[in-house]
Amino acid sequence: MSAVHEVIDLDEHDHRPAESGGTTPARLVARRKMNVRLVAAFVVGAVLGGVGVSELRDSRDERERNASVALVAFPTYIGGGGSGSDGPGVIQMNGQLAVINAGPAPITVGAAVGQRPGIQVRDTGQSRPLRPGGTGWIDVKLRIECSTAFESEPLSIRFSVETADRQVREVSYPVAVKGSAWHQGAEMPCRYVSYSGKGGG
């Protein structure tokens, strides 16, 4: 009987490793679940990180867009005024300057000042809000020396511009005055002051 019992003990002992080995698939499943969770966490982190980076990039792009300024300007009108007290061959007239907002954000154009030998331009103190692609007309005062004002050299006009982020920036734009509306409008008054100067001499 004891011999039979020993055989049974051996059989039972033989089954134990098999039973403990039977838990291996459960461990594999647990490892797979852990791997899946890690991958899912990585994917979620990557997505969230991508969204954060995208938002930061969008915010930076918006700031740059609001801060950027691009203008185009050209003379559109001259009239009124006449000879001033600055000497012979000099006239003072009223004019207008067209300003186009070529940038991506709305701006407000304030001061406009330009000077080179023969011509001076200054605004009359009125500001103009401009949407992107919009055009505004700025009233200016001109001081023109008839003999040199309309040479081929452009006149650099400095604009004071408030951007969408409420920062004030200065932007310069070279305005061609030779052959412009200012040039054409000043021809007759310049002839008059030149003739008067010769007649007075």
pLDDT in tens, 108-160: 999 999 999 999 999 999 999 999 999 999 999 999 999 999 988 899 999 99
- Alpha-carbon distance of 112 to 127, in angstroms, equals 10
- Say whether pLDDT at 21 is over 70: no
What integer best gives the mean pLDDT of the chain?
80
**66: CB partners within 8 A, 6+ apart:** 105, 163, 164, 165
Q: For the beta carbon of residue 51, count every other beta carbon within 10 angstroms.
A: 10
pLDDT in tens, 34-71: 777 776 666 666 666 665 555 666 666 656 666 789 99
The SS3 call for residue 84 is: coil
| CATH number given to 69-200 | 2.60.40.10
pLDDT in tens, 157-198: 999 999 988 899 999 999 999 999 999 999 999 988 876 656
All structural domains of the chain with their residue ranges: 2-65, 69-200
Regarding pTM above 0.85, the answer is no
176 close to 154: Cβ distance less than 8 angstroms: yes
The SS3 call for residue 71 is: strand
Q: What is the pLDDT of residue 196?
A: 65
Q: Count CA atoms closer than 13 A to 50's CA, side-chain side.
A: 6
Q: What is the pLDDT of residue 201?
A: 45
Q: What is the pLDDT of residue 113?
A: 97
